[in-house]
Amino acid sequence: MPNIKNASASGPAVRKVPFAVSEAYKSIRTNLITKLLKEQKNVIAISSPNASEGKSTTAINIAISLSQLGKKVLLIDTDAHRPSIAAKLNIKNESGIMDVIVGVCDAEQAVYEYNSLLDIFTIGNIPQNPTEIFASSAFEDSLKEFSEKYDFVIIDTPPVNLLSDALVIAQKCDGLVLVVRSGMTTHSSLKHTISAAKMLDINILGLILNGTGGEKKRYYKDYYNKTYNNYR
């Protein structure tokens, strides 16, 4: 039986958020669904160029937002070096996606039922060779199975510029969404990320700009969109 816990679990991503933030995620949800349905895709990797740019919180909130539309959603933590989904959602990490891939347990034994429409795989027990595990056909087969069972599969990956795992995972997904943070993500950092993804023919679905407000919002949005459009 799946692990079951009441959806009132507390954590940074599930506390009540300001109206503007909630509306921003609804807008992201609308744009993402429109693009994915048009391309008939449903497995999305969420990453960022570097650490601490908000990718994990963004992945959680996108998953929750999609489930609020009545969609069956699976959220997977694949950051084997700095996993955070379990801590952010205040759930246990006894077994998870790694255990499923290597055959230690079945998916039904490791999946966490957050609510009736949102399931979660934490990272689980991390082996010494996570990159090779994610490059395996077993992981690819698992993603295929999940894509048929769920309306959307959201995958939180490590930062692209720090670990090779991110691009290995993204290659097996239908698309990649990059999270950048204003005042932190540099032009060269984003350029490197996009170039690396482009070299591997990874489908970049778009950018999500984090940490803006007030008069700076437009400036940062134009800055990152220009970088994205120039190097994709």
The answer to whether position 93 is within a domain reads: yes
The answer to whether position 222 is within a domain reads: yes
Asked whether residue 5 carries a pLDDT value surpassing 50, the answer given is no
The pLDDT of residue 230 is 53
Per DSSP, helices labelled H in 40-89 are 55-67, 85-89
DSSP 144: H
Asked whether residue 171 carries a pLDDT value surpassing 50, the answer given is yes
Cα–Cα distance between 188 and 198 in angstroms, integer? Answer: 15
The answer to whether position 15 is within a domain reads: no
Which residues are 74's β-sheet partners? 119, 153
The secondary element (H helix, E strand) that includes residue 75 is strand 73-77
Asked if 220 contacts 183 with a C-beta cutoff of 8 angstroms, the reply is yes
Cα–Cα distance between 190 and 192 in angstroms, integer? Answer: 5
Percent of the chain at pLDDT exceeding 90: 70
Comparing 72-86, 105-119, 198-212, the range with the smallest average pLDDT is 198-212
Other Cβ atoms within 10 Å of 51 Cβ, number: 15
Confidence of residue 23 (pLDDT cuts 50, 70, 90): confident
Cα–Cα distance between 191 and 178 in angstroms, integer? Answer: 12
The total number of structural domains that make up the chain: 1
- Residue 138's Cβ-count burial label (10 Å; 0-12, 13-18, 19+) is middle
Give the predicted TM-score (pTM) of the model: 0.86
| 37 vs 1: which has the higher pLDDT | 37
Tokens standing for residue 60: 């959680």
The answer to whether position 3 is within a domain reads: no
Confidence of residue 82 (pLDDT cuts 50, 70, 90): very high
The answer to whether position 6 is within a domain reads: no
Other Cβ atoms within 10 Å of 61 Cβ, number: 21
Cα–Cα distance between 106 and 100 in angstroms, integer? Answer: 6
Query: Which residue range forms the structural domain that includes residue 70?
Result: 21-231
The pLDDT of residue 3 is 46
The pLDDT of residue 20 is 66
The answer to whether position 187 is within a domain reads: yes
CATH value at residue 161: 3.40.50.300
The answer to whether position 92 is within a domain reads: yes
